Amino acid sequence: MKTFVGFNYHKTTKRFVAQYKDGQWDSGRMMRKSTVCLSEAACVIQYAQTCFEGLKAYRTKDGHIVCFRLDLNEQRLHDSCERMVIPPIPKEMFFEAVEKVVKANAKWMPSYESGGSLYLRPVVFGKDSVVGVKPAEEFEFRLFATPVGNYFADKVRPLVLRVSDVDRAAPRGTGHIKAGLNYAMSLYAITDAHEKGFDENLYLDPANRTYVEETGGANVLFITKDGTLVTPKSDSILPSITRRSIVTLAKDAGIHVEERRIAISELKDMKECGLCGTAAVISPVGKVKDTQEEYTFSMDDFDNTVLGGLRKKLLGIQHGDISDDHDWIIKVI
Ligand code: PLP
Ligand code: COI
């Protein structure tokens, strides 16, 4: 199996597809066809009625393929569906789709040695035609797989972020769910950030523009000078499964953890900074540029930082090298 550099879509062999019509989900089936045919007035096209998930299947040293805490992805997709007026995917169908897609695409799984993984993307969207603003009555659920490497670059290196001057999610809006519309809101800012040489945008709380929220695709972690792990608490950020897992691993290791609001001005007191998520794992941040200030973190020797140690532990559990004391791993093959 060749090595997959970066985080891109590669069409794999089969995907799981189910339809919702006349008030119920059908039982779904595996399909070779990777394209979707829609009405020009489909609710997803007109009014962005869609939400999704992101999870990975990992290869272990002894040749198995495993998933990580997929019950939490199922729960979050359920919450996203409810907020988007989409009928939630039956729990059993979600788990069946993951199992079938991993098994049908096992040949696409990057090797253990490559450090890559098979990224799974469940997505659900409104299909029937609307012109007036209202939710669809027919929906499609798809779960496809694509082999991936690192999210940010060909190798792990300290990222350079800028504080975004536009917001990603409104107060009391949809920042806490995984709706496509949140990512649409970030496309202008990410394009502009890349053009100006930044890797990502750091968003501030939309009500006050004072507190750190998250980036376009990951939550944020800090280590203070006295070794405390601090991570933002906010109703308008995505409840990252990776972040919740890191918090548990940090506590296991005796690290003091604070989940609270973090003012942007506090960044000058932080020793380490990292982004965390399924795609990002833990990616080190070397610099955050605000309009007046520039905050730097000593992340060059990432392996020897607290966040570097937590990344190693998390990947060790996910790839079966470290014992899974919390029963987070589900063996698929
Ligand atoms: N925040 C945003 C906006 C994301 O898109 C993601 C990715 O899913 C995360 C955080 C991290 O969440 P998780 O760790 O569950 O992948
Ligand atoms: C993930 O980490 O799974 C995500 O969905 C983030 C996305 C921006 C790739």
Q: What percent of the chain has pLDDT over 70?
A: 99
CA of 248 to the centre of ligand 2 (A): 21
Give the residue among 93, 101, 120 at the shortest CA–CA distance from 16: 101
Q: Taking the alpha carbons of 71, 73, 74, 79 in that order, is the dihedral positive or negative?
A: positive
> In terms of DSSP bridges, do strands 15-21 and 139-148 run parallel, antiparallel, or are they unpaired?
antiparallel
As beta bridge partners, residue 119 has 56, 146
pLDDT for 84: 98
CA of 55 to the centre of ligand 2 (A): 8
* 199-215 pLDDT, tens digit each: 999 999 999 999 999 99
Contacts of 301 (CB under 8 A, 6+ apart): 308
* 218-233 pLDDT, tens digit each: 999 999 999 999 999 9
Long-range contacts of 260-264 (CB under 8 A, 24+ apart): 260/230, 260/232, 260/233, 261/205, 261/211, 261/232, 261/233, 261/234, 262/211, 262/212, 262/222, 262/230, 262/231, 262/232, 263/210, 263/211, 263/212, 264/163, 264/204, 264/210, 264/211, 264/212, 264/290
pLDDT for 1: 61
pLDDT at 306 over 80: yes
List the alpha helices (DSSP H) in the chain: 43-47, 70-83, 91-104, 180-195, 241-252, 306-318
pLDDT band for 93, please (50, 70, 90 cuts).
very high
* 252-287 pLDDT, tens digit each: 999 999 999 999 999 999 999 999 999 999 999 999
- The minimum-distance atom of ligand 2 relative to the CA of 52 is 5
pLDDT for 3: 73
CA of 217 to the centre of ligand 2 (A): 5
CA of 238 to the centre of ligand 1 (A): 6
pLDDT at 185 over 70: yes
Q: Which two tokens stand for residue 312?
A: 């190693």
pLDDT for 143: 98
Q: Is 329 helix (H, G, I), strand (E, B) or coil?
A: strand
CA distance 315 to 333: 18
* Ligand 2 pocket: which of 278, 281, 318 to mutate (most atoms within 8 A of CB): 278
CA distance 175 to 181: 10
User: How much is the mean pLDDT over the chain?
Assistant: 97
CA of 271 to the centre of ligand 1 (A): 23
Give the residue among 120, 230, 125, 240 at the shortest CA–CA distance from 175: 240
Q: Is 54 in the pocket of ligand 2 (CB under 6 A)?
A: yes
- The minimum-distance atom of ligand 2 relative to the CA of 242 is 2
Residue whose Cα lies nearest atom 4 of ligand 1: it is: 217
pTM of the model: 0.98
Give ligand 1 pocket residues (Cβ under 6 A). 54, 214, 217-219, 238, 240-243, 277-278
* 148-181 pLDDT, tens digit each: 999 987 788 999 999 999 999 999 999 999 999 9
Count CB neighbours of 4 within 10 A: 20
What average pLDDT does the segment 18-28 reach? 98
Instruction: Identify the nearest ligand to the CA of 120 by its number.
Output: 2
Residue whose Cα lies nearest atom 7 of ligand 2: it is: 217
Q: Which two tokens stand for residue 109?
A: 């799984």
pLDDT band for 5, please (50, 70, 90 cuts).
confident
What average pLDDT does the segment 23-38 reach? 98
Q: Is 180 in the pocket of ligand 2 (CB under 6 A)?
A: no
Instruction: Identify the nearest ligand to the CA of 169 by its number.
Output: 1
pLDDT at 2 over 70: no
- The minimum-distance atom of ligand 2 relative to the CA of 280 is 2
Residue whose Cα lies nearest atom 9 of ligand 1: it is: 218
Residue with tokens 């979600």: 94
pLDDT at 4 over 90: no
Q: Is 276 in the pocket of ligand 2 (CB under 6 A)?
A: no
pLDDT for 317: 98
CA of 123 to the centre of ligand 2 (A): 12
Count CB neighbours of 182 within 10 A: 22
* Ligand 2 pocket: which of 151, 190, 214 to mutate (most atoms within 8 A of CB): 151
Q: Is 122 in the pocket of ligand 2 (CB under 6 A)?
A: no
Do residues 65 and 192 lie in contact, with contact meaning Cβ atoms separated by under 8 Å? no
CA of 279 to the centre of ligand 2 (A): 5
